[in-house]
Structure 1
């Protein structure tokens, strides 16, 4: 098992955290309001990681993330990621989502269909997005729910952060479709 390292860094959206090892980026925490929250979030997923100055290849990813949150169009597809940190069952989902470009969105159901699964697999796609160890690099914010809903987002700020990242890329999700509450049975 490769040794884990991490570093915190400031972006226009708050303090982010990146974790890496000898294979690639192993963890990425989207910006939070303060450094303590970012650090705690990363260490919860990568306990035992040691904070050190990043090597040049990780510094390059940090610079890309800083530029992304400043509004620059950035492509993270070439960033090496440690595949060992991804659940094997989610590897295909992450690979598919990672191919989404700047401002390109899809739905949980469309990812399931593209991978040859039925609509019931959309829930698995959602679980993979929630467990994504490297958001932004695997751009889970670009996967939305059906019916124009933005869907959930487990990063700091929740769905508002997802909407802000999409807006940064020029995407304004549709307003949620009003669905009446299920009515009870009248016997």
Structure 2
């Protein structure tokens, strides 16, 4: 599977493609010999750089996140949250007729964080909840602050 790495403000990231779609975004850097610059991976890195530079909030890439049908349903619901906005686990649960806990578990298994914006999903009362990426909740706060969506009671970080 082709992979391409990039440096970002939240750490090194590796994007993976399979059959013409992005299937994962992982923290870390794979060896150069494992990296391949496909058109799709270059576009993904360009869009991620635009995002981190503050020039885009949403992504336009073909995605195929692995997981159960339920996980894919939660990924689709997260992808529908516009940049600069947030929803709660409970709100998504109501949309897809599930429980907030099940939605939270699926968010934690999101294989394409940032691009599929699990960071835009908050706990009740605009509390952060969790974040499975490197840096945990601090990284979630950085992403929300970058988008102008960090709840006022959470704005304690300097970028």
Query: Who is 1:55 aligned against?
Result: 38
Distance in 2 (CA, whole Å) between partners of 1:74 and 1:173 is 17
Distance in 1 (CA, whole Å) between partners of 2:101 and 2:75 is 14
Structure 1-normalised TM-score?
0.75
Q: Does the 8 Å CA contact 1:166/1:172 hold for their aligned counterparts?
A: yes
Residues 92-119 of structure 1: CA distance to partner in whole angstroms, max 9, x if unpaired? 11111101111110000000011133xx
The alpha carbon displacement at 1:142 in A equals 0.3
Count of residues paired in the alignment: 152
Question: Equivalent of 1:80, from 62, 67, 73?
Answer: 62
Root-mean-square deviation (CA, aligned residues, Å) is 1.8
Distance in 1 (CA, whole Å) between partners of 2:90 and 2:96 is 10
Distance in 2 (CA, whole Å) between partners of 1:90 and 1:68 is 24
Distance in 2 (CA, whole Å) between partners of 1:8 and 1:173 is 31
Deviating above 4 A after TM superposition, structure 1's stretches of 4 or more consecutive aligned residues are none
Structure 2: state its 5+ residue gaps: 155-159
The alpha carbon displacement at 1:174 in A equals 4.5
Question: Equivalent of 2:21, from 12, 20, 24?
Answer: 24
Structure possessing the higher radius of gyration over alpha carbons: 1
Distance in 2 (CA, whole Å) between partners of 1:25 and 1:171 is 25
Distance in 2 (CA, whole Å) between partners of 1:21 and 1:90 is 18
The alpha carbon displacement at 1:148 in A equals 2.1
Q: Does the 8 Å CA contact 1:97/1:138 hold for their aligned counterparts?
A: yes
